[in-house]
Amino acid sequence: MIDMQDAAYGYGAEPILSDMTLRLAPGSFHFLTGPSGSGKTTFLKLCYGELLATQGSVTVFGQDTATLDRNAIARSRQRIGVVHQDCAFLDHLPIAENIALPLTVSGRDGGASDANMRELIAWVGLSARAAAHPPELSGGERQRAALARAIIMDPDLILADEPTGNVDWEMSLRLLQLLCELNRLGKTIVIATHDLALIRAAKAQVQARVLRIADGKLSAAGANL
């Protein structure tokens, strides 16, 4: 699903991430941890092609992200659900339309009025807030909306950047539950998080591995979390 060969990335001359070689199998469930500023978001951006590796290669769905043209990148993003750390919403559109955005831009009809869409919004507990605009939502509400948007296209790969950073423990567990269910349906999942309790909770439900970024290097964390 995701294949990295000696991949490195630096915003300037100094690389932030280097020597990353890994293979995430289809259907796997990974957590990505590491101190703040260690490069978790950067790692995820490499995976969905917002950044290109400065060295080595990053292959997603069997395609090297560096060789994809702009339309191919757009198409591959339609197969990847991303929960962005900053949520990346359009502030002038109601949250329901923001959630439906991937459907809209890929030309799938139905959009926000779809029954599945309503069910999904209800599932993340936003039915009452569906008409509100993103700036009117709390941080946790935005994160739930972001998760809803990430899965609305029924993607094969889900990348979530701190999806539970601003929600209470109960909601965190519900969101995790959803991700675990999706994983059981065969989706590949990568979650960047600091939340060790969340990782432990997940390990009780699915076979999850933990990747750790420290000092620009990626390593598999031990089972002793």
Per CB under 6 A, residues contacting ligand ATP are 11, 16, 34, 36-42, 85
Residue from 17, 89, 96, 147 in contact with other proteins (CB under 8 A): 89
Alpha-carbon dihedral sign for residues 154, 195, 30, 16 = positive
End-to-end CA distance of the chain: 25
Strands lying side by side in the sheet with 217-220:
80-83, 157-161, 188-192, 29-33, 208-214, 217-220
Instruction: From the list other proteins, Mg ion, ligand ATP, none, pick the one residue 134 interacts with, judged by a Cβ distance below 5 to 8 Å according to partner type.
Output: none
Q: Assess 156 for contact with other proteins (CB under 8 A).
A: no
Does residue 42 contact residue 9 with C-beta atoms inside 8 Å?
A: yes
Residue 48 phi, psi dihedral angles, 5° rounding: -100, 15
- Smallest separation (angstroms) from other proteins to the CB of 97: 8
Q: Assess 161 for contact with other proteins (CB under 8 A).
A: no
Q: Cα separations (Å) of 57 from 7, 67, 126? A: 5, 10, 39
Stretch near other proteins under the rule CB under 8 A, chosen from 25-33, 43-51, 54-62, 211-219: 43-51
SS3 label, residue 82: strand
Q: Assess 51 for contact with other proteins (CB under 8 A).
A: yes
- Smallest separation (angstroms) from other proteins to the CB of 44: 11
By CB under 8 A, name the binding residues for other proteins: 48-52, 70-71, 73-75, 77-78, 82, 84, 88-90, 92-93, 97, 101-102, 104-107, 111, 149, 153
